[in-house]
Amino acid sequence: MTATLKTLILGSGPAGYTAAIYAARANLAPVLLTGRQPGGQLTITSEVENYPGFPKGIMGPEMMEMFREQAGRFGTEIHDDVGIKVDISKRPFTVTSEGGKVFTTQTLIVSTGASALYLGLPNEKTLQGRGVSACATCDGFFFKNKVVYVVGGGDSACEEANFLTKYASKVKLVVRRDALRASKIMQKRALDNPKIEVLWNQNVTDVLDVNKGKVTGVELTHTKTGEKRQEPADGLFLAIGHQPNTQLFQGVLKMDEKGYILTTPGKTETNVPGVFAAGDCQDSYYRQAVTAAGSGCMAAIEVERWLESQHD
């Protein structure tokens, strides 16, 4: 058991590190547990071209190393460890880590992010980065003049399919029903795009690599007839939604039906005083590095003021 901290930060994406930078500079001596994927979702992307301050773009993993360095520079204690148990029913809060440490803290910043949903096919994870991706904006560039499949029928799927037509010669959108869930305007853009072909009532049921270690095709199954067929493909993009990494807080913090933590509008405070949530674990809408960083900054400032108010 360590001495009680002023603040503990869970997660090391743009939200977590930005909260750390601000908390450290406010002399709150923050401790940050990186979680299982240090650097978060940006470490599985390639180039980030929309983060202000990097006019030539920057590789996601490199950017997250810079975030980490900046958080460390002001004295954040960073542990490559994972919070596996929390008790926020009383103060100080306790967090137990996978590494066997028990932290006690007056405040907690939850910035555990979100993870893209996958179909759960046997080959899918091994072919990640070898043709399988859950981020067209990150990886589309690698599919110039190639044939790619996109799975999903929501706004993300339509947006990603449209985006991919900038590079790919053909984009096949695989929709499991006979209708898209996407907003009308996004549907129209996808349906009007001559490079996009929609495959209705179908599921991708296998990713093929014929022992080449990269995607060479997909197996499609018709949801009504059960008919299976194999088609050549260079890439498979999944756009079937994201899942917030909030399982640790289920039943304790208020969440929406999808598990995103609910915060007071315009703030990062949660229903438990002293617990703040920032980044994608509380944002199903923007999900951008820059908005996550902004909310991390908000959380640190709110922590500082909350601690002051407790002292008063």
Which residues are at the interface with ligand NDP (CB under 6 A)?
A: 119, 151-157, 159, 176-177, 181, 203, 239-241, 284
Q: Which is nearer to ligand NDP, 71 or 151 (CB)?
A: 151
Question: 148 and 161 in contact (C-beta within 8 Å)?
Answer: no
Q: Which is nearer to ligand NDP, 81 or 206 (CB)?
A: 206
Least separation in angstroms between CB 275 and ligand NDP: 25
DSSP letter for each residue of 4-49: PEEEEEE--SHHHHHHHHHHHHTT---EEE--SSTTGGGGG--EE-
Question: 14 and 67 in contact (C-beta within 8 Å)?
Answer: yes
Least separation in angstroms between CB 137 and ligand NDP: 11
First vs last C-alpha separation in the chain: 27
Q: Which is nearer to ligand NDP, 30 or 235 (CB)?
A: 235
Least separation in angstroms between CB 246 and ligand NDP: 16
Least separation in angstroms between CB 212 and ligand NDP: 25
Cα 256 to chain centroid, rounded: 17
Question: 101 and 92 in contact (C-beta within 8 Å)?
Answer: no
Is residue 280 annotated as part of the catalytic site, yes or no? no
Question: 295 and 17 in contact (C-beta within 8 Å)?
Answer: no
Q: Could you count the other beta carbons within 10 Å of the beta carbon of residue 159? A: 18
Angle between helix 155-164 and 184-192 (nearest 10) = 30
The span from the CA of 277 to the CA of 264, in Å, is 10
Q: Which is nearer to ligand NDP, 51 or 163 (CB)?
A: 163
Least separation in angstroms between CB 227 and ligand NDP: 17
Q: Which of 312, 308, 311, 300 has its CA nearest to residue 8?
A: 300
Catalytic residue of the set 81, 138, 206, 280: 138
Q: Which is nearer to ligand NDP, 156 or 270 (CB)?
A: 156
Least separation in angstroms between CB 166 and ligand NDP: 16
Q: Which is nearer to ligand NDP, 150 or 278 (CB)?
A: 150
Q: Which residues of 121-136 are buried (b: 16+ CB within 10 A; e: fewer)?
A: bebbeebbeebbbbbb
Is residue 256 annotated as part of the catalytic site, yes or no? no
Query: β-strands 47-48, 58-59: how paired?
Result: antiparallel
Catalytic residue of the set 81, 139, 234, 280: 139
Q: How many residues does the chain have?
A: 312
Q: Which residue is nearest to ligand NDP (CB)?
A: 154
Query: 294 is written with which tokens?
Result: 């902004």
Is residue 135 annotated as part of the catalytic site, yes or no? yes
Query: 245 is written with which tokens?
Result: 């990494």
Which value, in Å, is the radius of gyration of the alpha carbons in the chain?
A: 21
| Residues identified as active-site | 135, 138-139
